[in-house]
Amino acid sequence: MAFNIILASNSPRRKELLSMAGFEFVVKSKNVEENHPDGMKQEKIPVHLAQKKAKALLSEITDNEIVIGADTIVLLNEKIYGKPIDREDAISMLTALSGQIHEVITGVCILSKQKEILFSETTKVYFNKLKREEIEFYVDNYKTFDKAGSYACQEWIGAVAIKRFEGDYFNVVGLPINRVYQELKNF
């Protein structure tokens, strides 16, 4: 059976990655509260949120539709860095990440009326030490407010501040597309 794919995300990066992999899809998303049960292990949170985003559409899909939900977090010293609320928050996040090794975890939920697959990918990101002026330049010249950890590795900051990645680069962009591709092939 051929499935129609629905991406439960408005992320331009996730749209770009699914298109790059050759998938045709439509975007439908609902606002869901991005909360989680107290005491949930941090590495489980993105999978939980991805599942909430996908399941928000479950009652609206047909038997030949698949929903892909995803959520990405940045984790440093057991603290989650989500999307910044303002300029100072973005600067604060990037200052904390500067000179550190952090993890980017993307949770994915692929579901249909018959089946559900949940997984996450983790990538380690090695940041150079940044001066405050460099951080302010990035925050003031790039749209950082819709990105976990206040940065996008495919922009200026990735070119000058990220020493290396351990794991899937595209996971840091917002979707572990290789794994998604394999899972959809087997779906």
Instruction: Give all domains of the chain, ordered by start, each with its CATH number.
Output: 4-186 (3.90.950.10)
Give the tens place of pLDDT for each residue, 103-116.
Answer: 999 999 999 999 99
Q: 175 with 15: CB under 8 angstroms? A: no
Average pLDDT (164-186) is 95
Q: Phi and psi of 10, rounded to 5°?
A: -95, 5
Q: Indicate yes or no: pTM above 0.85.
A: yes
Contacts with 67 (C-beta within 8 Å, 6 or more apart), sequence order: 6, 7, 8, 54, 57, 58, 61, 109, 110, 111, 112
Residues labelled catalytic: 71
Instruction: Determine the distance from the C-alpha atom of residue 54 to the mean position of all C-alpha atoms in its chain, rounded to a whole number.
Output: 14
Distance between CA 33 and CA 35 in Å, rounded?
Answer: 6
Question: What pLDDT, on the 0 to 100 scale, is given for residue 1?
Answer: 54
